[in-house]
Chains A and B, each alone.
Chain A
Amino acid sequence: MHTYVYRLNVLLTEAITLLALMCAIASLSDKLNVASPSADIQVLHINWFHKQRNGNDEVSLTMNVSADLKSTFTWNTKQVFVFLAAEYETEKNYLNQISLWDAIIPSKEQAKFSYHTINKYRFTDQGNSLRGKKYNLTLHWHVMPKTGKMFSDRIVTTGHSLPEEYI
């Protein structure tokens, strides 16, 4: 500690070590947060439902996605990434998950939303087994922290099914 360079070195090392500790504890504090989110997804209309030229089924839906994800935000949250996935079973695959829509929620105030939208991404099957198919619409979200571990969770809404014949 006899020169100022030595003292500066010690100070910076200690300061950065303490900063790392603060960030680790901040991330741990996220576990204390008990989230109580809610979501409601309705399929309002099926715009088209046909077989593409390559033989795969395709559906276009108009949906109303509303959710309240305010309680998932903590002081250590940068943003919440939310996406809607259609999940169903076919003979070929035990689980098919297709992302239909996603959004980034940058702040707590915008976490209660209601979107009336058509699916952002194509709902296409591997094959042509969508006629009369029962599927779940699941809202997934990833809580992205400012520092530390990312948490993710989901809400499943069941009871949706596609028509028996192409439209």
Chain B
Amino acid sequence: MDWQGQKLSEQLMQIMLLAFAVGAFATGYVIGSFQMMMLIYAGGVVLTTLITVPNWPFYNRHQLNWLDPSEAEKHPKPQVQQHISSSSKKKSSKK
């Protein structure tokens, strides 16, 4: 999943779970059936799992553009001078 897809998945997950929780409670309370509340909520959780967890194609619409390798070679990474010192153990290896 790309970044936009992950954000979409998280939003969908939270909204769907909350909606099913509220809906299940309201329905159960009005009917007077605890079992109905549990069934509706369980169904809602399963539905949410099916929609938000697998890597569906609509989560991959905003592709990440990685830099092309040939382009990367034209701009080499700057090398940091390694300080060889017997007393200092700190390696300044910032790449």
Contact = CB atoms under 8 A, between A and B. Distances in A.
Interface of A: 1-2, 4, 7-8, 10-11, 14-15, 18-19, 21-22, 25-26, 29, 75-76, 146-147
Contacts of A18: 17-18, 21, 41
Interface of B: 1, 6-7, 9-10, 13-14, 17-18, 21, 24-25, 28-29, 31-34, 37, 41, 45, 48-49, 52-55
A115 B56 CA distance: 63
A11 B25 contact: no
Contacts of A146: 34
A11 B6 contact: no
Contact of B14 (A14, A21, A76): A14
A98 B9 CA distance: 61
A152 B10 CA distance: 44
Contacts of A10: 10, 13
B74 to A, nearest CB: 30
A8 B49 contact: yes
Contact of B24 (A1, A8, A11, A22): A22
Contacts of B1: 1-2
Contacts of B37: 22, 26
B43 to A, nearest CB: 12
A29 B24 CA distance: 15
Contact of B9 (A1, A14, A25, A75): A1
A15 B32 CA distance: 22
Contact of B17 (A1, A2, A14, A76): A14
Given A11-B17, A18-B17, A75 B10 contact: no
B21 A22 contact: yes
